[in-house]
């Protein structure tokens, strides 16, 4: 009980598991899981999360993650890292989106945006939830100082590039609406793997965010996604795509790019199986009419 009360990841996992799915078999068929994201077509709505420093998991870990995503015909995100690492990821042929930290020096942010453009990334964005640490002060990430960004600063970042701009770390309607105002092309609904205790599960706030922004931005969901069933639930509640992070790290360590590919494809096959048993033929058709809530999570 003590762990449940505070651990945002456990709360998120429990909320995932609390959602029940009704079955529909008549008129069902093998579905099409392809999806268009930021002007590119992919075979799956499952993307990699914006991971960083994967050399600690496997040699050339970030490059191998990108290659695995390419082999799965999936979108790949890149978190914190050097320019050459991003170039290596893009050179695999993967479609990569670079997520930049909220560096205290805005010149560093602009430089990272330029690096993403020059490396061949298909979009760029910012991880807004790394501005503070857990002790009431500004965050420092691998020795680099971070700062929160104002709406005006974010508008300037968006305006500085022709690439679609994605905001990661949105966990409220208020921030989602500000992202829409700044001209963001997409958001990632996420609590950054429990960066704050007692954070609301992304799927719990997702329907309200979807209602607020509609189809004006692409909505992705992050945190505690472990299976194709989890992906289906996120899609049903309003997501356009779903990020997978820790679930691919074990396969990456064991089998490199092929491990990432196999895990992403296995999860996509699980997604297809749920779609078959709920009679949804395409990703766009999936809706919340098949979701049954556990009353313990009602507001």
The catalytic residues are 192
Task: Tell which residue, 226, 196, 139, 172, has the closest CA to residue 7.
Answer: 196
The answer to whether 58 and 251 have CB atoms below 8 angstroms apart is no
B/e letters for 6-23, b = 16+ CB within 10 Å, e = fewer, are: ebbbebbbbbbebbeeee
Q: For residue 194, what are the CA distances in angstroms to 88, 262, 269?
A: 30, 27, 28
CA distance 32 to 281: 6
Closest CA to 270 of 69, 50, 11, 46: 46
> What Å distances lie between residue 49 and 26, 136, 146, 193, 248, CA to CA?
35, 27, 21, 11, 9
How far is Cα 187 from Cα 252, in angstroms, rounded to an integer?
26
**Burial level of 183, CB count in 10 A (0-12/13-18/19+)?**
middle
Contact 230, 242 (CB under 8 A): yes
Q: What's the longest Cα–Cα distance across the chain?
A: 58
For residue 246, the SS3 value is helix
**CA–CA separation, 245 vs 162, rounded Å?**
27
């Amino acid at each position: 009980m003590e762990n449940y009360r505070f651990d945002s990841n456990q709360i998120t996992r429990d909320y995932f598991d609390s959602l029940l799915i009704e079955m529909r078999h008549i008129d069902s068929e093998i579905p099409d899981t392809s999806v268009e994201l930021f002007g590119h077509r992919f075979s799956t709505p499952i993307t990699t999360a914006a991971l960083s420093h994967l050399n600690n998991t496997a040699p050339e870990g970030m490059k191998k993650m990108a290659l695995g995503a390419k082999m799965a015909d999936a979108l790949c995100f890149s978190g914190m890292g050097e320019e050459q690492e991003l170039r290596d990821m893009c050179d695999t042929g993967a479609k990569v989106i670079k997520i930049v930290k909220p560096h205290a020096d805005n010149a560093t942010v602009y430089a990272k945006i330029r690096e993403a453009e020059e490396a061949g990334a298909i979009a760029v964005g910012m991880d807004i939830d790394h501005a503070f640490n857990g002790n009431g002060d500004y965050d420092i990430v691998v020795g680099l100082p971070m700062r929160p960004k104002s709406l005006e600063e974010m508008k300037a970042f968006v305006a500085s590039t022709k690439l679609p701009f994605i905001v990661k770390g949105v966990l409220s309607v208020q921030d989602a609406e500000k992202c829409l105002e700044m001209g963001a092309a997409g958001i990632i609904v996420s609590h950054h793997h429990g960066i704050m205790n007692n954070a609301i599960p992304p799927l719990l706030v997702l329907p309200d965010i979807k209602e607020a922004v509609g189809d004006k931005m692409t909505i992705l969901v992050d945190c505690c996604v472990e299976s194709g069933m989890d992906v289906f639930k996120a899609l049903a509640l309003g997501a356009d795509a779903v990020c997978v992070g820790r679930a691919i790290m074990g396969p990456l360590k064991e089998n490199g790019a092929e491990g990432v590919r196999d895990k992403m494809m296995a999860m996509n096959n699980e997604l297809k199986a749920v779609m078959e048993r709920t009679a949804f033929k395409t990703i766009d058709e999936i809706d919340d009419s098949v979701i049954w809530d556990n009353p313990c999570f009602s507001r």
